[in-house]
Structure 1
Amino acid sequence: MASVVHFGPFVVTTQVFYRSAHSFALVNLKPFLPGHVMVCPNRVVPRIKELTPEEVSDLFITVQKVSSVIEAVYKAQSLNIAVQDGPLAGQSVPHVHCHIIPRKLNDLPDVDDVYKLMDSRDADIELSFQQLKQLNSTTANPDVPDDLRAPRSMPEMEAEARMLRSEMERRLKAAL
């Protein structure tokens, strides 16, 4: 049985697809685009400055490993990798996390619309975690507020986590 993993106050154990010494990667409840995942330190702290040097190093090495797999699996041409460090930067859950968002040509009306999607100041993340529903569309709409984007179901997130876990294991073994 896997140990319990938290993203801020939320238990996210079954959504986790990769673990390192100090970090974990998980699928996103409300992805901005298909393949949008997050990497977090194991220790729940709200700001990067509160992490130890070992935790920072491990976090970004994990971001690098996960990014490579996400880009390949989702056939992305680029990635947005972003950290919202504190509530005034748009951080909606008080736990350091790096967003990894695969990008393709014309995935959004404007390439910078991803930043509109990341502006979560009006989001009610707790309500979102309680309202697990099927995502209505795989195409992101930057003009739809976060609280109106339907969250994915737990089975859907768990299936994506299983697929990504398998792909991470396969690619990491191949790199040895």
Structure 2
Amino acid sequence: MSIIYFGSFVVTRQVFYKSRHSFALVNVKPLLPGHVLVCPYRVVPRVKDLSADEIADLFLTVQKVSEVIEDVYKGQSLNIAIQDGPLAGQSVPHVHCHIIPRKLDDLPNVDDVYQLLNSKDADIELSFQQLKSMNTVGLSSPDLSDLERMPRTEKEMWAEAEMLQAKMSKSNL
């Protein structure tokens, strides 16, 4: 198994789908159930840094993964978002597309998802650091300002990735 990176983080076991230039992985701290990411293998910070082949593959992968995610999590719609650079809220300098299945009344206001995407609570780099700290020091050690949404354990993420990998392999896409 080759090592897959999301920014500087090894995420190989979180990956549930691979294409020629892209991969899909479960989220360490999903905003809603089924929130996943699609990334190019090449670690680049901005969409403009991708080749034409990488862009085409990224969006074809988003399309394939979206269909399965919407089905598995019984979504009625999807948020598909890219935060292209730090001023747009990107917390890991690696192009990534959020896929978030949506249901009626899943948030108080339908557009609250954008505030969540841009909040410290959604900071993926912080979440990975918290997870690393929890795995080496214990659950009580991280100083968290967003205690409502603790990062998931590696075991939880791996289980979801295995389930989604099975669903993707059964998909007709």
- TM-score of the superposed pair, with normalisation by structure 1: 0.86
Identity %: 70
The secondary structure found in structure 1 opposite 2:71 is helix
2:78 aligned with 1:79: yes
2:141 corresponds to = none
2: CA distance, partners of 1:13 / 1:77: 29
Q: What 5-or-longer segments of structure 1 have no aligned partner?
A: 134-144
Letter of the 2:35 partner, please give it: H
Alpha-carbon deviation of 1:129? 1.2
Deviation track 1:98-147 (CA, whole Å, cap 9, x = no partner) reads 000000000000000001110145766444213336xxxxxxxxxxx768
Letter of the 1:100 partner, please give it: I
2:94 corresponds to = 95
Q: Which moved more, 1:148-157 or 1:159-168?
A: 148-157
Letter of the 2:68 partner, please give it: V
Deviation track 1:44-75 (CA, whole Å, cap 9, x = no partner) reads 00000000000000000000000000000000
1:25-64 to 2 correspondence within 5 Å? 25-64=24-63
- TM-score of the superposed pair, with normalisation by structure 2: 0.88
2:157 corresponds to = 157
2: CA distance, partners of 1:123 / 1:111: 17
The secondary structure found in structure 2 opposite 1:131 is helix
The secondary structure found in structure 2 opposite 1:54 is helix
1: CA distance, partners of 2:123 / 2:43: 20
Q: Is the 8 A contact 1:18 1:24 kept in 2?
A: yes
2: CA distance, partners of 1:160 / 1:122: 21
2: CA distance, partners of 1:122 / 1:167: 29
Q: 1:33 to 1:54 in 2, by over 3 A?
A: same
Q: 1:114 to 1:146 in 2, by over 3 A?
A: farther
Q: What 5-or-longer segments of structure 2 have no aligned partner?
A: 135-144
1: CA distance, partners of 2:80 / 2:63: 10
2: CA distance, partners of 1:82 / 1:9: 21
1: CA distance, partners of 2:159 / 2:151: 15
RMSD: 1.7
> How many residues are paired up?
161
